[in-house]
């Protein structure tokens, strides 16, 4: 089941976050399910929610693929980036955890391109909030303390993806963060597709074992 929803953040000037809420097959309102927060790329910003079905998990769900998790897919308002909406994204997660019988120990973060950058940044700002991270063709900006700040994630299970032929977001953006993480004691996975450019997310989300790996991760001390 996939339905359009909106989250109204506190504060008169805060814009609503429109989002798709996917409830998995077998949902019965009693069992606790894992939660995946999906952040789209820059091309899907705006106020037309169906745009975010063009790529990533919303696209797969729209095509009928079974995803055994609650998937929350918000839309970034037009002309903005994810960064100023981080507080509202966490508020949206809190609302889902409170209303959907979600499992607070199994909350995951993934995104592509602009959303890939946001994955790294949001997780670094809240390194104990998520059980695992899957950033795709993203990176970290120096003004937000990268690459050094990525060491806050050395405890976190991470599987990053990038296309070696990417000219929109050069693969060194991911490579730098992965190298830094490993130097400070992290053990991230990294898949570099030698024949793919910017759109490596189709291959990434189809990667054998990705979903089972992701849903196996749990946090020891969850935010509830």
Q: In this predicted model, what pLDDT tens digit does every residue of 24-80 receive, in sequence order?
A: 988 777 789 999 999 999 999 999 999 999 999 999 999 999 999 999 999 999 999
Q: Quick check: helix, strand or coil at residue 5? A: strand
The closest of 127, 116, 134 to 214, measured between CA atoms, is: 134
Q: What angle do CA 3, 85, 47 make, to 5 degrees?
A: 45
Q: What digits encode the pLDDT tens for the residues 95-138?
A: 999 999 899 999 999 999 999 999 999 999 999 999 999 999 99
Right CATH for 2-215 from 3.90.960.10, 1.10.260.40, 3.40.50.620, 3.40.50.1820: 3.40.50.1820
- Give the model confidence (pLDDT) of 65-81 as tens digits: 999 999 999 999 999 99
Rounded to whole angstroms, how far apart are CA atoms 187 and 158? 8
Residues 6+ positions from 28 with CB-CB distance below 8 Å: none
Mean pLDDT of the chain: 93
Domain range list for the chain: 2-215
Q: Which residue has the tokens 């050094």?
A: 148
pTM to 2 decimal places? 0.94
Angle at 54 between CA 216 and CA 173, to 5 degrees: 65
Q: Cβ atoms within 10 A of the Cβ of 210, count?
A: 17
* First-last CA distance in the chain: 25
């Amino acid at each position: 089941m996939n339905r359009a929803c909106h989250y109204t953040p506190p504060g008169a000037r805060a814009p609503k976050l429109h989002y798709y809420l996917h409830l998995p097959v077998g949902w019965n309102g009693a069992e606790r399910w894992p939660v995946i927060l999906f952040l789209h790329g820059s091309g899907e910003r705006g106020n037309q929610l169906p745009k975010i079905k063009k790529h990533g998990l919303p696209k797969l769900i729209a095509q009928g693929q079974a995803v055994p998790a609650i998937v929350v897919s918000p839309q970034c308002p037009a002309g903005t980036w994810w960064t100023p909406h981080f507080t509202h994204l966490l508020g949206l997660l809190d609302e889902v955890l409170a209303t959907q019988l979600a499992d607070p120990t199994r909350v995951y973060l993934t995104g592509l391109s602009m959303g890939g950058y946001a994955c790294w940044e949001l997780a670094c700002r809240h390194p104990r909030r998520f059980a695992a991270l899957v950033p795709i063709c993203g990176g970290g900006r120096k003004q937000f303390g990268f690459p050094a700040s990525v060491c806050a994630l050395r405890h976190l299970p991470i599987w990053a993806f990038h296309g070696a032929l990417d000219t929109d977001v050069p693969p060194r953006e991911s490579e730098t963060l992965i190298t830094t993480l490993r130097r400070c004691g992290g053990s991230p996975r990294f898949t570099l597709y030698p024949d793919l450019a910017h759109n490596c997310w189709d291959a990434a989300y189809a990667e054998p074992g990705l979903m089972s790996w992701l849903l196996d991760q749990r946090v020891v001390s969850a935010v509830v």
